[in-house]
Structures are given as C-alpha cells and as structure tokens.
C-alpha cells in the first residue's frame, strides 16, 4: 500500500506534452538576432605537430566573421577531473587523434562556415602514433603527452585482505583474459552550444550539457575569465548517458567567438563529430584471476585492467577508480587486488558512460563466474546467491551498505526467466543466463558534490521550486517535483519548476554517478520542509497547537491526531500573512551525501556512496547456429532502487538501459583503423532499432533506504552493467561457447562454433 499521495505514482513527465507537441526547445532550436554559425576544423592525422595554421583563406571567404586556431586562445588546460586536466579547447602544440580540434570559424550562415573551414591550411609534422594501449605502455612507444612519458595517465592499486595467501588456500584458481569494445553513447541530440555576451562581458551559454555547474567552472577556466562572468543555461537535452559531462570545443568556441565578435554564436556537431570527437566507453583489456573454495565461496580475485583512454584523460582517474570500487560489490570478496591503468592512445577519447568503467569489468567477472560454475558443477544462480553481499555486513573496503536487495533480485530474475526449467535444459541453440551488479547513488563527502534547492510557497498556494539538477530526459525535474509535492501535501500540478540555470538555481553537481534523485531530491525535500515549517508555525499559533503536531496533505494543513481540525493551504497562507510574518514563504535546502567513514574516493578507503543499488539481469537467447545471429528472446531486469518515486519513469530507465546493454553485447562497436573511426554513422554503427527489442520484464525489488528521499536510490545506470554478461552467459548456455570479448557478432559466433566443432 502506498501511503503517499504523489511519491510512487506513475506520473507522466512534466514536460512530456511539450516534447510531444514540438514546443520543447533544445539548444539547436534556439536562435538569437544576428547569430553567427560556427564550424570546427579537425585533424586528419592521428598524431602530429602543428607547424602552422593559415587562416587567411577562411578569413577572406564571404560571410566569415572570424577564424581562430589554438594560438589565439588562452593557454588554459581543462578537464572534468581537476587533477587530470590535459586538454586545450583547440589544439595548441599538437594534435593527438583524428578529429582533434585545430581551428574554428564563424560566419553569417552555416554554408559559409562549412565552406570556410575547407580554406584553412594546416602544416603538420606527422609523428609516430600508437593505437593499442598495451603497445602504448611499452618503453619506447610514442609519447602522446610530454608530461606522461609512459602514456599511463591514471592508475589505481587497491588490495584488501591477503590476496596471495587466499590464492594459496584456494581449491581452484581460474584465470581468464577479457576484452571490451569502444561504445558510443549515441544521444539522439548531437552536442550543441549557443553563446551570447552582454555589455559587461558576461557570457551566457545555452548548452546540451548534463552538468551545468561544472561546465561553468571549466568554461571560465578555458576563457580565462572569472566563474561569475559565465552563466550556463541548460535547455532540453536530448539524452546524454555521460557523453554530455565534458566541456567540448563547441562550448568554448561559441563563447570565445561571442566575446570576440560581440554577436551570438552557435555551434552544433554533426553526427560524425559525435562519433569521432566527443567521448566513448573505454575499451578495456582485463586479466582476471579468481580463487574458489570447493563449496563455491569466492576466496580471492585479482584484476589487472588496462583501459584504452584515447588521446585525453576526461574522467580517467575517476573511471579507473570506479571500475575498482564497483567490483567489490555485489559479491562478498574478502581478498581482492585491483590494478588499473588508464593509457593514452591516438584514438577517440574515453569518458563517462552509463556505468562508467564498471560494465567492462562486470562483464569479465560475470562471464567468468559462469565458466567457474560449469567447471565446478555448481548452478550459476546458486554460486551467485552463495556469495551475494547482504545489508549490514562488514565490507572489506569499509563500504556501508544499509539496504541491499541483491539476493532478492537474483531469485526474482531467475524465477521470471524460468531458470529452473530452462538453464541447461533447452535444446542446443537456446539458452538462459543471468548476471548481477551494484551501483552507487552518487558519491559522498566531497563538498562540490552538494545539491541546493529553493522552495517558495506562493500566495495562491502554488509552489515554486528551484533546483540545479540537470534533466537530460530521465525525468529528474518530475521526480524532484514529486518529492516536493509529497512533502508539502499538494498535487504535482501545483509545482512550478525552474532548473539548471547557474545564475538562478542553486548549485548542483549535475547528472552523473546516479546521484540526482538522491542528492537533488534530498535538497528539495529539505527546502520544502523548511518552507512548510514556517507555515506550520503560523498555523500552529492560530490553532493553538504545536507545530510538530501538524501535517500537510491533500492541500490541507491539519492536526495529525485529529485530521478534521485544520485548514486549506490557501487559508494557511492567509493566516501566515495576517500573522505579520515576512513574505515570501521560502525554504532553502542544501544536501551533501553524508559519509560515516570519511573517504576522498581517490585517496582513502571508506564508504563513498550514501546508498548502493543492486540488480540482476537475465536473458533468454536463441542462436542461429547457421548464420551466427543471436536473437534475444526475453530480458528480465530486477532492480533494487529503494523506493521508486515514479515507477513508470523507473521502468523507462530500466528498459532503455537494458536495450543499450543489448547493443553492447551484440551490435555496437566503434571500429577504428589506424585511429580513424570506420563506422561514424547510424548506418554502420548498430544501435538497436525497435526490431531488436525483445519483451522486457522489469521486476521491482523495493527496499527502503534510510538515506534516500522517501527511500529512493539509483535506477537506470547500474542497469547497464549486466545485460551484456547476462546475454553472453545465455549464449554460453545455448551453444557452450563462452565469449571473452564484445560484441558477440555473428561472425565471431560462427568462428567459435567452427573451432568448437574441430575440437
């Protein structure tokens, strides 16, 4: 029974009708009088010194208002992780991958801008390039950034327990190597930015960003102006999945040219640029050694992970750290050694993508667990259940897991896929598989990872909510509004929300690390509580009761113990006004995820997330053993997301995430040859179409997390960790081949079947 009025309801997104009618405005939908259009010239070479950039041809072209190259911009490096800044908005000294930004122009029309960039001449001195991260780590490999002579730009080494001893005590040891591919996020909206500068020099930038406040900081840095001189507004954003976390040349160039020309400037990327010159999921090379006891206990795991970072860092240190930390859940592994390396290559740049460093390693663990189960004669489900982490257990890395529905997700996913009847019992070519995972709900204990909110109770009873949260299509604004509506006892339609404008809305770290609902939701809830308390004070005084005995619900304020005794919200507001209290009735909330065990994530051990979600994905597949094509017949996703604030939106998150995971299992790979992306289009890069999608069953495993707003935790991002291994394990069940690399294309299936026949 839902004891809430708004929380837990399947409410449509607040902006759904705007999006269904074409009224919703994305960055590229905006234009300003006198606006100029920009284009970027990109490097055709994977690694080269820039000797000379001749802009004169472009500058002379009709309609062109300005042209710049790297030498025209402030020599300020940026990067999403402060300790790993390694990128200029336009390349200054040299280019490091095909697609690296070299120069840019603005013109009075897009036609003119496109034509003009072909008139820029660049002299390069080509340098030896390196494309394989294992090669790049070897002595003597070409050096991509002078500051990093071994090309290893981020590392992590963590050990818990005594790994060596644990392996010595193991009854069985398994060692495998896994490879994962580069994956593009493919948001349907290509990256875009529109900038305007006022007379004081203040820059306003509308950007397809999922992280406005960080963008403000990075943009100010690259422009070399104070942060207060930059305002970022996030219009509707057409999907991000992590790709819109970074600052891109389009943001810098729009702002820089707007400052230079005193005219509004817009830059929009082509789909090809999204593929070659934004971010992608890091390909990884993973060596995994697992020690098992006869009874199925995982005694120890040892990882050596090499991530192909491409030409720049982006989130490198964070990514490799997350890969490490999230391998410590959802199983109990007392002895664990993780060594991770982020390596530069002359290729497109790796960055945050749904799951952020974890799906790759998760794939290795989950695929290996199934082969271990087979060799040890244990059911893969039982093996997982035996090692499943439980709430409240001490964790070797001091993670504090207060709620954990992992075992439940395993059992329910298995039930739903028909595990008992099907696993190992289907005809050759058909199979079922499952895989588990865990994900944080944001990161604790870093003050810049705080959220603020303001809630104003208006004279007519409507509620104004200001939040910095960046809705990129997941429905954050709706969910946060539901939280506020619930807290104030009003309906969702009473909430007027303004979000993600760095000048108007309070600080928020943005959409990453699955912390939005928890962080911004808690901040908004606190703000609502503060506003409510102010109102309660006045009402309590008038009714001669204690404020703490009051409750707000159904648009009324009343005495909890005697609901008849109360008044409407409008009356309450009047009471407040006539009590000579100051208007407006306003509540402010700031929320920083607490950390009972202090950690800085990158440097110290300890609990680093306020809450952890748990999930299991299960798949049933059919392999056409003649053509090698794998058809997914059914997917099940069982997710412990705490309490779902909006179950319909949670389902939408899960379904979309599962299909993305399917793409990574079977269809998607950014293929490069000598650093050139061979398939930078939707024709050749196969994101799933509606034809590929099987029935998907979402099983909610509700827990009530003490830290989440109304008990809510992450949903949707962690879901993308294990569809791929679930499918790979189902293929293993179907044809007895365990794949160690992704994606499993028909070509690879046929090769594997042939090899198997020969044996």
Residues 653-692 close enough to bind another protein by CB under 8 A: 655-660, 667, 671, 676, 678-684, 686-692
Asked whether the beta carbons of 104 and 253 are under 8 A apart, the reply is yes
Whole-number minimum distance, CB 304 to another protein, in Å?
A: 30
Q: Given the complex with another protein, which of 177 and 627 has the nearer CB atom? A: 627
Q: Which is nearer to another protein, 461 or 688 (CB)?
A: 688
Q: Which stretch binds another protein (CB under 8 A): 26-34, 169-177, 308-316, 488-496?
A: 26-34
Span 27-46, contacts to another protein by CB under 8 A = 28-29, 31, 42, 44-45
Q: Taking a C-beta distance cutoff of 8 angstroms, is the pair 649, 475 a contact?
A: yes
Window of 21-29, 422-430, 483-491, 545-553 that interacts with another protein by CB under 8 A: 21-29
Smallest distance from another protein to CB 619, Å: 14
Nearer to another protein, 239 or 461 (CB): 239
Site for another protein in 376-395 (CB under 8 A): none
**Binding status of residue 267 toward another protein by CB under 8 A:** no
Query: Shortest gap between Cβ of 251 and another protein (angstroms)?
Result: 19
Q: Between helices 380-387 and 406-417, what is the axis angle to 10°?
A: 170
CB 434 within 8 A of CB 732: no
Closer residue to another protein (CB): 182 or 507? 182
CB of 404 to another protein, least distance (A): 26
Please say which residue, 567 or 750, places its beta carbon nearer to another protein. Answer: 750
Query: In the complex with another protein, which residue's Cβ is closer, 248 or 591?
Result: 248
Candidates 5, 15, 179, 590; binder of another protein (CB under 8 A) is 15
Which positions from 317 through 376 interact with another protein, judged by CB under 8 A? Answer: none
Chain residues 100-129 in contact with another protein, contact rule CB under 8 A: 110-111, 114, 118
CB of 648 to another protein, least distance (A): 4
Residues 430-469, one symbol each (x = binds another protein by CB under 8 A, - = not), give ----------------------------------------
Q: Judge whether 409 and 434 are in contact, CB under 8 Å.
A: no
Site for another protein in 551-590 (CB under 8 A): none
Which of residues 579 and 627 has its CB atom nearest to another protein in the complex?
Answer: 627
DSSP string for 479-538: HHHHHHHHHHT--GGGEEEEE-BTTTSPP---S-TT-HHHHHHHHHHHHHHHHHHHHHHH
Q: Taking CB under 8 A as the criterion, which residues in 594-633 touch another protein?
A: 626-627, 629
Q: What are phi and psi of 503, to 5 degrees?
A: -90, -25
Cβ atoms 645, 517 nearer than 8 A: yes
For residue 677, list its beta bridge partners: 672
> If we measure between CA atoms, which residue out of 225, 219, 209 comes closest to residue 254?
219
Toward another protein, which CB reaches closer, 244 or 532? Answer: 244
Residues 190-219 contacting another protein, CB under 8 A:
190
Contacts of 445 (CB under 8 A, 6+ apart): 592, 593, 594, 595, 598, 599, 600, 601, 608
Q: Hey, which residues between 462 and 501 contact another protein (CB under 8 A)?
A: 472-475
Measured over the CA atoms of residue 89, residue 91, residue 95 and residue 96, the dihedral's sign is negative
Question: Under rule CB under 8 A, how many of the chain's residues touch another protein?
Answer: 81
Separation CA 666–CA 729 (nearest Å)? 13
Query: What distance in Å separates the CA atoms of residue 500 and residue 233, rounded to the nearest whole number?
Result: 6
Secondary structure (3-state) at 159: strand
CB of 214 to another protein, least distance (A): 20
Q: How far is the CB of 465 from another protein (least distance, A)?
A: 21
**Are residues 37 and 266 in contact, defined by beta-carbon separation less than 8 angstroms?**
yes
Nearer to another protein, 20 or 504 (CB): 20
- DSSP state for residue 540 in the 8-state scheme: H
CA atoms within a 13 Å half-sphere pointing along the CA-CB vector of 505: 27
Q: How far is CA 700 from CA 10, 517, 677, in A?
A: 14, 17, 39
CA distance 116 to 689: 36
Question: Beta partners for 67?
Answer: 105
Q: Which alpha helices (DSSP H) does 262-399 contain, by range?
A: 271-277, 316-325, 358-376, 380-387
Q: How far is the CB of 633 from another protein (least distance, A)?
A: 14
Which of 54, 59, 132, 272: binder of another protein (CB under 8 A)? 272
Judged by beta carbon, residue 355 or residue 587, the one nearer another protein is: 355
Residues in the chain: 759
Instruction: Identify which of residues 184 and 729 has a Cβ nearer to another protein in the complex.
Output: 184
Query: Binders of another protein among 729-748, rule CB under 8 A?
Result: 745-747
**Closest by Cα among 115, 117, 122 to 104:** 117
Residues 44-63 close enough to bind another protein by CB under 8 A: 44-45
- Rounded CA-CA distance 396/385 in Å is 19
Which 150-189 positions form the footprint of another protein (CB under 8 A)? 185-189
Angle between helices 647-662 and 723-735 (to 10 degrees): 50
Question: Smallest distance, Å, CB 34 to another protein?
Answer: 15
> Which of 666, 136, 134, 688 has the alpha carbon at shortest distance from 363?
666
Radius of gyration of the chain (CA): 27
Stretch that binds another protein, among 6-14, 53-61, 172-180, 331-339 (CB under 8 A): 6-14
- Looking at beta carbons only, is 296 or 475 nearer to another protein? 475
Compute the least distance from the CB of residue 183 to another protein, in Å: 12
Residue closer to another protein (CB basis): 474 or 609: 474
CB 34 within 8 A of CB 106: no
Residues 75-104 that bind another protein (CB under 8 A): 98
């Amino acid at each position: 029974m839902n004891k809430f009025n708004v929380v837990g309801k399947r409410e449509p997104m607040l902006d759904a009708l705007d999006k269904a009618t074409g009224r919703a405005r994305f960055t590229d939908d905006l234009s300003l009088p006198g606006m100029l259009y920009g284009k970027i010239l990109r490097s055709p070479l994977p690694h080269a010194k820039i000797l000379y950039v001749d802009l004169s041809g472009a500058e002379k072209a009709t309609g062109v208002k300005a042209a710049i190259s790297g030498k025209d911009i402030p020599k300020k490096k940026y990067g999403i992780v402060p300790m790993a800044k390694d990128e200029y908005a336009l390349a200054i000294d040299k280019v490091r991958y095909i697609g690296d930004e070299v120069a840019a122009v603005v013109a009075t029309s897009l036609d003119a801008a496109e034509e003009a960039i072909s008139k820029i001449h660049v002299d390069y001195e080509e340098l030896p390039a390196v494309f394989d991260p294992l090669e790049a780590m070897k002595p003597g490999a070409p050096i991509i950034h002078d500051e990093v002579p071994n090309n290893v730009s981020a590392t992590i080494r963590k050990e818990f327990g005594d790994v060596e001893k644990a392996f010595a005590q193991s009854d069985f040891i398994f060692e495998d190597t896994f490879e994962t591919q580069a994956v593009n996020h493919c948001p349907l909206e290509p990256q875009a930015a529109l900038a305007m500068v006022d007379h004081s020099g203040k820059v306003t930038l509308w950007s397809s960003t999922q992280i406005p406040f960080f963008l403000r900081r990075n943009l100010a840095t690259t422009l070399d102006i104070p942060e207060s001189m930059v305002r970022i507004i996030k219009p509707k954003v057409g999907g991000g999945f992590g790709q819109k976390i970074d600052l891109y040349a389009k943001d810098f160039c729009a702002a820089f040219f707007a400052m230079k020309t005193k005219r509004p400037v817009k830059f929009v990327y082509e789909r090809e640029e999204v593929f070659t010159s934004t971010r992608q999921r890091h390909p990884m090379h993973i060596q995994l050694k697992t020690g098992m006891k006869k009874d199925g206990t995982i005694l120890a795991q040892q990882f050596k992970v090499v991530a192909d970072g491409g030409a720049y860092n982006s989130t490198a240190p964070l990514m490799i750290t997350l890969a490490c930390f999230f391998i410590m859940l959802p199983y109990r592994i007392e002895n664990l050694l993780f060594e991770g390396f982020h390596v530069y290559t002359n290729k497109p740049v790796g960055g945050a993508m749904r799951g952020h460093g974890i799906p790759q390693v998760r794939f290795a663990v989950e695929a290996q667990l199934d082969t271990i189960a087979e060799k040890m004669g244990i059911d893969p489900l039982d093996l997982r259940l035996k090692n499943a982490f439980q709430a409240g257990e001490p964790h070797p890395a001091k993670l504090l897991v207060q709620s954990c529905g992992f075992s439940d997700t395993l059992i329910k996913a298995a039930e739903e896929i028909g595990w008992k009847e099907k696993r190992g019992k289907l005809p050759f070519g058909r199979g079922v598989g499952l895989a588990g995972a865990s994900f944080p709900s944001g990161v604790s204990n870093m003050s810049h990872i705080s959220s603020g909110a303001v809630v104003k109770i208006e004279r007519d009873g409507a509620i104004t909510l200001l939040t910095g949260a960046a809705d990129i299509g997941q429905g954050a604004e709706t969910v946060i509004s539901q939280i506020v509506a619930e807290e104030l006892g009003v309906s969702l339609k009473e909430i007027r929300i303004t979000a993600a404008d760095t000048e108007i809305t309070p600080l928020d770290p943005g959409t990453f690390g699955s912390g939005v609902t928890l962080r911004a939701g808690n901040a908004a809830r606190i703000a609502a509580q503060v506003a409510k308390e102010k109102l309660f004070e006045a009402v309590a005084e008038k009714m001669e009761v204690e404020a703490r005995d009051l409750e707000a619900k159904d648009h009324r304020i009343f005495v909890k113990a005697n609901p008849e005794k109360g008044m409407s919200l409008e009356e309450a507001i009047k009471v407040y006004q006539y009590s000579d209290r100051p208007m407006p009735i306003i509540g402010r909330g700031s929320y920083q995820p607490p950390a009972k065990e202090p950690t800085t994530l990158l440097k110290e051990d300890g609990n680093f997330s306020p809450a952890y979600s748990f999930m299991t994905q299960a798949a049933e597949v059919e392999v056409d053993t003649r053509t090698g094509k794998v058809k997914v017949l059914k997917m099940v996703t069982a997710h412990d997301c705490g309490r779902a604030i909006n179950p319909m939106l949670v389902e939408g998150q899960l379904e979309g995430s599962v299909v993305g995971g399917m793409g990574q299992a079977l269809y998607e790979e950014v293929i490069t040859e000598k650093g050139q992306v061979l398939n930078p289009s939707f024709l050749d890069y196969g994101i799933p179409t509606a034809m590929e999608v099987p029935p998907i069953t979402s099983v909610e495993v509700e827990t009530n997390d003490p830290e989440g707003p109304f008990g809510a935790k992450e949903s949707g991002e962690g879901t993308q960790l294990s569809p791929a291994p679930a499918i790979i394990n189902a293929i293993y069940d179907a044809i007895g081949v365990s794949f160690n690399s992704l994606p499993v294309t028909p070509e690879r299936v046929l090769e594997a079947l042939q090899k198997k026949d020969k044996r």
